[in-house]
């Protein structure tokens, strides 16, 4: 065996001079970038604290159960909460079947040609249309042309069109997640394509569709501009009726009520706006959290 080799000259490999400086910057950059990342969240936290301080004193049962009023201390969100719930229920009833139907057609049945590409591009573009434009559409078509007036029905149809693109997109993704082997297995047993979709693909896509639906509801729940556009900025001091005719009643929603109180010049209303914001934020954050839970829970099963 040969004699062991040697190493005449030594190095330290320590960071010195330029390298030390560059590494110092690089290490510091981690914290600088982290702070920048958190800055937006800091604003959100301040927003939460500010509204909590201003709003919590007014947040009591009376606030939840009273109708709006000219007097700040007597004003409440009863009609706007009921209006929000009612409009959102019908928004979901209108939007989800259409969105899932469109997604199923696109993923399972559509011919692979220009028509499908057109539908895809069209939906991607609709997703980027500002909500106030959907409001104009609702105003012209549902309120005026169909003569529904600024009603719950017109509001729900407007919001349904607004959330349609995003629910189609999430439904398409959910259907895509279903492994092809499931379809093949079902078809091999002699099921028709529709039976396969109904019995296997849709159940498999359910978690994704539900998650997308809940997120879309959260978005619709906070929508203000489109509903003001169709004329929902009104004073409502009655509960929506549970009849078919009730659908043609006018309505208000929680975000519209918050807007109303925000633009009042009298400072007393600031507390009402903050209390309304607390309720709205709890609802929206709750829906977002629910979406995450639903996705995890159903995915596990």
User: 37 to 76, contacts with another protein by CB under 8 A?
Assistant: 37, 39-41, 43-44, 46-47, 50-51, 54
**Pick from 92, 65, 90: nearest CA to 80:** 65
Distance CA 269, CA 262 (A): 7
> Bridge partners of 250?
151
Count of residues interacting with another protein (CB under 8 A)? 115
Q: By CB under 8 A, tell whether 296 contacts another protein.
A: no
Taking the least distance from each CB to another protein, the nearer of 10 and 301 is 10
Helices 202-221 and 78-104: angle between axes, nearest 10 degrees: 140
Residue with tokens 């028709």: 192
Q: By CB under 8 A, tell whether 113 contacts another protein.
A: no
Residue range at the interface with another protein (CB under 8 A); choices 57-65, 66-74, 92-100, 242-250? 92-100
185: left (phi over 0), alpha (psi -120 to 50) or beta: alpha
According to CB under 8 A, which one of 57, 74, 130, 238 is a site residue for another protein? 130
Q: By CB under 8 A, tell whether 29 contacts another protein.
A: yes
Taking the least distance from each CB to another protein, the nearer of 131 and 250 is 131
Distance CA 147, CA 145 (A): 5
**Pick from 169, 182, 234: nearest CA to 208:** 169
Taking the least distance from each CB to another protein, the nearer of 192 and 241 is 192
Task: List the x/- string, 201-240, binding to another protein by CB under 8 A.
Answer: --------------x--xx-xxxxx--xx-x-x-------
Taking the least distance from each CB to another protein, the nearer of 107 and 249 is 107
Q: By CB under 8 A, tell whether 264 contacts another protein.
A: no
Taking the least distance from each CB to another protein, the nearer of 54 and 248 is 54
Query: What is the nearest approach in angstroms of another protein to the Cβ of residue 242?
Result: 27
**Pick from 81, 93, 88, 89: nearest CA to 239:** 81
Distance CA 255, CA 155 (A): 13
Query: What is the nearest approach in angstroms of another protein to the Cβ of residue 246?
Result: 24
Distance CA 254, CA 154 (A): 17
Residue range at the interface with another protein (CB under 8 A); choices 58-66, 74-82, 126-134, 242-250? 126-134
């Amino acid at each position: 065996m040969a004699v062991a080799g040697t190493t005449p000259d030594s190095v330290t490999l320590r960071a010195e001079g330029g390298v030390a400086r560059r590494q110092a910057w690089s290490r510091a950059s981690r914290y600088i970038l982290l702070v920048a990342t958190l800055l937006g969240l800091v604003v959100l936290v301040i927003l939460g604290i500010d509204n909590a301080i201003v709003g919590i004193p007014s947040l009591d049962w009376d606030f939840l159960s009273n109708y709006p009023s000219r007097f700040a201390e007597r004003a409440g969100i009863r009609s706007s909460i009921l209006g929000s719930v009612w409009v959102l229920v019908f928004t979901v009833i209108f939007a989800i079947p259409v969105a899932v139907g469109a997604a199923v057609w696109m993923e399972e049945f559509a011919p692979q040609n220009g028509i499908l590409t057109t539908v895809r591009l069209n939906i991607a573009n609709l997703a980027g249309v500002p909500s106030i434009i959907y409001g104009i559409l609702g105003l012209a078509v549902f309120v005026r042309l169909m003569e529904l007036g600024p009603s719950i029905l017109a509001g729900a149809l407007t919001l349904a069109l607004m959330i349609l693109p995003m629910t189609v997109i999430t439904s398409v993704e959910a259907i895509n997640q279903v492994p092809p082997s499931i379809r093949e297995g079902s078809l091999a047993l002699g099921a028709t394509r529709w039976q396969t979709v109904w019995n296997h693909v849709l159940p498999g896509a359910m978690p994704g569709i539900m998650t997308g639906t809940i997120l879309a509801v959260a978005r619709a729940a906070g929508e203000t501009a489109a509903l003001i556009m169709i004329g929902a900025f009104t004073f409502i001091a009655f509960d929506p009726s549970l009849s078919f005719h009730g659908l043609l009643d006018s309505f208000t929603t929680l975000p519209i009520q918050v807007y109303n109180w925000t633009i009042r010049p009298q400072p007393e209303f600031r507390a009402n706006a903050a209390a309304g914001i607390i309720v709205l934020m709890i609802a929206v954050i709750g829906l977002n959290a629910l979406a995450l839970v639903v996705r995890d829970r159903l995915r596990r099963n």
